[in-house]
Amino acid sequence: MTKDMTVGRPMPLIIAFFFPLLAGNLFQQLYNMVDMMIVGRFVGTGALAAVGSTGSLHFLVIGLISGLCTGFCIPVSRTFGAGDGEGMRRAVAAGTVLSSGISVVIAVVTALGCGWLLTIMDTPADIFADAQAYISLLFWGIPATTFYNYTAGLLRAVGDSRTPLICLIISSLCNIALDLFFILAFDMGVVGAALATVIAQVLSGVLCLWQIVRHLDLLHPRGREWMPRASVCRQLLGVGLPMGFQFSITAIGTIVVQAAVNSLGTDIVAAVTAGNKVQNLVNQPLESLGVTVATYCSQNLGAGRIDRVKSGMRQITLFMVGLSLLGSAIAFFGGRYILLLFLDSSETFILGEAQRFLNFNCIFYVFLGVVLVFRNAIQGLGYATPAMLAGVLELIARSAVAICLTPVIGFTAVMMAHPAAWIAADAFLLLPFYFYILHRLNRNLSKAPRTAGGGM
């Protein structure tokens, strides 16, 4: 069930971890894709725009949760690589307590405040009610999302990317069935789509937990290990909070872009919504490679093998370039056909603008690949704060383009916003910090070979 990535040739280990993770992430994309397809086809373009207008707001909150859970699991991965069983179990216990409490607080605050946030984003009046109904239900379901993200993160921390894949396949099929049931049989509209997603998230979390309980005794805290130590909680929060904030800071930039999109009308909202869905789909290999990098670097840091981090990252970078070029080709040549999953062929204006959005963005996918690979490497090595600062640079770049240029050049500014953010993060933070961190870890390990890297 587990995979030790501290011994053996790096690339076969990385590939073996990567492909199940990629398949799982693609199935996770089905949650939102099926919502969009069924809503767009059976409820209408207005409902599609309503669901799409909440995407950046949803990403803001879910990104925070995902970052926290990923951060809480990095010490688990590191102690697994170091062979520290007690430290690993104490990290599992502390992460369970922290993720449970934080998710409940976030759910209450966001569900009650989502109407105010949609107003600030200048959500068009004709889609406001549907947008609020959809996103508020998703926010009430945040504990379910956290449940899955944390249990799947624990499995991946010890090298098991296969079980989360199986769980997501099952829950995705459940999501499809429930979407059709709630929307077609009960005419529940966007509320039915949201409810189906929450139920599917609960199912995937239960399945991951079942695997941990039945087969992974090394992740079971025992007796007093369930009593969270302040030092362990500080360690988890020191990694998890910056990672969560990094996701959220990035999402704030997308909210600013969404506000600019909203100002251009419902048709443009629908076009950018569909374009972003296709873009998220074709870039799942890059997202999956990023998670793989974090696990690989964290386990090898725990084992004191910075040499393996260096050699692995050289091979991963070449792999990332190939995946980026493949994603660009799919978006450019096949984007229109994927867009038809969400839009009717009669919507010629929306289809054209969505394709234009994709054609411009896909030129810059290699810059996105660098962000995802090196950001996750930095986080896996225990330095979450520089990655968060990269998110700040993305926020500044996205916001500047959206706020300053949209009133002047309209939709072209929306197309430029994401590439500007990727380039800013690459050039000014991620790459320089990665090499600095390797140098610092080498120096520390030469003094104390088993010392793991600390945060900044």
- pLDDT recorded at residue 449: 46
* Dihedral (CA of 90, 93, 96, 98) sign: negative
Contact 381, 453 (CB under 8 A): yes
Give per-residue pLDDT as tens, 395-423: 899 899 988 998 889 899 999 999 999 99
0.75 surpassed by pTM: yes
H/E element holding 326? helix 306-339
347 compared with 108, residue with greater pLDDT: 108
Between helix 365-380 and helix 431-447 the angle, nearest 10°, is 20
Mention every residue, 6+ apart, whose C-beta is less than 8 A from residue 417. Answer: 253, 257, 260, 397, 398, 401, 402
H/E element holding 378? helix 365-380
Give per-residue pLDDT as tens, 319-354: 999 999 999 999 999 988 888 877 778 888 989 999
CA gap 62, 391 in Å, rounded = 16
> How many CB atoms are closer than 10 A to CB 418?
24
Contact 35, 23 (CB under 8 A): no
Angle 261-267-272 (CA atoms, 0-180°, nearest 5)? 50
**Mean pLDDT of the 125-144 span:** 91
Mention every residue, 6+ apart, whose C-beta is less than 8 A from residue 414. Answer: 257, 260, 261, 264, 268, 272, 357, 402, 406
Angle 235-241-245 (CA atoms, 0-180°, nearest 5)? 160
CA distances from 246 to 232, 253, 310, 407 (A): 21, 11, 24, 28
Q: Is the pLDDT of residue 273 over 90?
A: no
Residue 415 is encoded by which pair of tokens?
Answer: 């197309």
In the numeric block, the tokens 């996105």 are attached to 368
Beta strands in 308-447 (DSSP E): none
Contact 177, 214 (CB under 8 A): no
Residue 400 is encoded by which pair of tokens?
Answer: 């500047």
Q: Tally DSSP H helices, then E strands, for the chain.
A: 17, 0
Angle 172-175-179 (CA atoms, 0-180°, nearest 5)? 145
Give per-residue pLDDT as tens, 80-89: 888 888 999 9
CA gap 312, 317 in Å, rounded = 9
- pLDDT recorded at residue 450: 45
Contact 241, 249 (CB under 8 A): no
Q: Is the pLDDT of residue 104 over 90?
A: yes
CA gap 187, 190 in Å, rounded = 9
Q: Is the pLDDT of residue 295 over 50?
A: yes
The answer to which of 183-187, 286-290, 413-417 has the lowest mean pLDDT is: 183-187
* Rg of the chain (C-alpha set): 21
Task: Give the residue from 19, 309, 340, 359 showing the smallest Cα distance to 161.
Answer: 19
Task: Give the residue from 342, 360, 364 showing the smallest Cα distance to 351.
Answer: 342
**Mean pLDDT of the 102-123 span:** 90
CA gap 313, 318 in Å, rounded = 9
**384 phi and psi angles, rounded to 5 deg:** -80, -30
Residue 218 is encoded by which pair of tokens?
Answer: 């090394």
Highest mean pLDDT out of 57-71, 159-173, 241-255, 407-421? 407-421
pLDDT category of residue 451 using cuts at 50, 70 and 90? very low
Q: Is 33 helix (H, G, I), strand (E, B) or coil?
A: helix
CA gap 272, 408 in Å, rounded = 19
